[in-house]
Amino acid sequence: MADPRFYSVAGPFTLKEISEISGAKIAGDAAPETLFTDVAPLDRATKDHVSFLDNRLYTDRFSRSQAGTCLVAPALADKAPAGMALLLMDEPYRGYAAVVRSFHPQAKPEPGVAPTASVDVTAKLGAGCQIDAGAVIGPRAEIGGGCHIGANAVIGEGVVIADDCVVAAGVSLAFCIIGARVIIHPGVRIGQDGFGFALGAQGHLKVPQVGRVIVEDDVEIGANTTIDRGAAPDTVIGAGTKIDNLVQIAHNVRIGRGCVIVAQVGISGSTEIGDFVMIGGQAGLTGHLRVGSGARIAAQSGVMRDVADGVTVAGSPAKPAKEHWREQATLANLSKKKKG
């Protein structure tokens, strides 16, 4: 189903193989040797395709789908159309992730340095790196094995990148240490000066920024996101954290492990965020806050106070989500009364 212009496809795989890849159980008496050629969304899949249902919103599409097989939670299995082979599991989206990965294995770098790339003589490149056209790698930079540095990316002086990273087109990295298996999407800016000024009516005095950015293993950073280096402490992105596009992370921010930060979030200077925190799109956090592990911050929230472990906040100013929604309901009711 994937456009062959852009994607090659592995397989085909049998239903049994897909069951093993995903960890799902084949329902009923579906033939385990049936072959499937690719994944496809519910509304475009044909009998040769594997699809999935993870969001109840799409149950109708599921019921009308022509997909040959579908990963689905047992509770929704009875909505399946006749003739569809079902692959049952509690977390069908996780199973689907594994299936897509099998049909579409991640491209490996094609080792070599493009003739128009500029690699400083003092830089070190690990084995099997692909350095694309126009990429610039500065003095004393160290790049691990199996990395792919995209076209026109700029790796600054002294930057360290561990193994198996992808640095996409047009990225710039400076004053940073990047862990293994990190994916940095196009246009990301890491390590530039933080916004540090001693303000004053006689002019704002620039405070030189002498820290770094530390990006731990398995982080992913979305397109055109900006992460400033620390003022003197470091800015830190914990292992396994996933950051979406156009996010702003200011100097000295420390983000824990496994966080999920949706697009256009802004985190002000020196704020510290625990592990597995979820931050919805366009939320903003002021500086010098502490957000506890497992906290959840709703989209467009304006967080101005510390958030304890596991608490969900919403609104601007952000407060416990129930309180915020109760206030919204109160206002709506009062407004209706006024009218009535």
Please state the separation of Cα 221 from the chain's center in Å: 6
Asked whether position 23 contacts its own copies by CB under 8 A, the answer is: no
Asked whether position 66 contacts its own copies by CB under 8 A, the answer is: no
Residue list 85-124, contact with its own copies (CB under 8 A) = 91, 93-94, 96-98, 100-101, 103-104, 106, 114, 116, 118
d(CA 133, CA 150) in angstroms, rounded, equals: 8
Q: Which of 30, 48, 316, 321 binds its own copies (CB under 8 A)?
A: 316
Q: Which of 16, 157, 293, 320 binds its own copies (CB under 8 A)?
A: 157
Residues 49, 251, 288, 324: which is the catalytic one?
251
In the complex, the smallest distance separating the C-beta of residue 28 from its own copies, rounded to whole angstroms, is: 25
CB 127 within 8 A of CB 144: no
**In a 3-state reduction of DSSP, which class is residue 113?**
strand
Asked whether position 160 contacts its own copies by CB under 8 A, the answer is: yes
Q: How many residues contact its own copies, by CB under 8 A? A: 116
The pair of structure tokens assigned to 316 is 């601007």
Pairing of strands 205-206, 197-198: antiparallel
Q: Which of 30, 73, 113, 151 binds its own copies (CB under 8 A)?
A: 151
Please state the separation of Cα 317 from the chain's center in Å: 26
Q: Is 251 a catalytic residue?
A: yes
Binding marks (x or -) toward its own copies, 208..247, rule CB under 8 A?
x-xxx-----x-x-xxx-x-x--xxx------x-x-xxx-
Q: Which of 83, 121, 201, 340 binds its own copies (CB under 8 A)?
A: 201
C-alpha pair distances (Å), 55 with each of 242, 261, 300: 21, 21, 23
Query: What is the 3-state composition of the chain as percent helix, strand, coil, each rounded to the nearest 5?
Result: 15, 25, 55
In the complex, the smallest distance separating the C-beta of residue 325 from its own copies, rounded to whole angstroms, is: 9
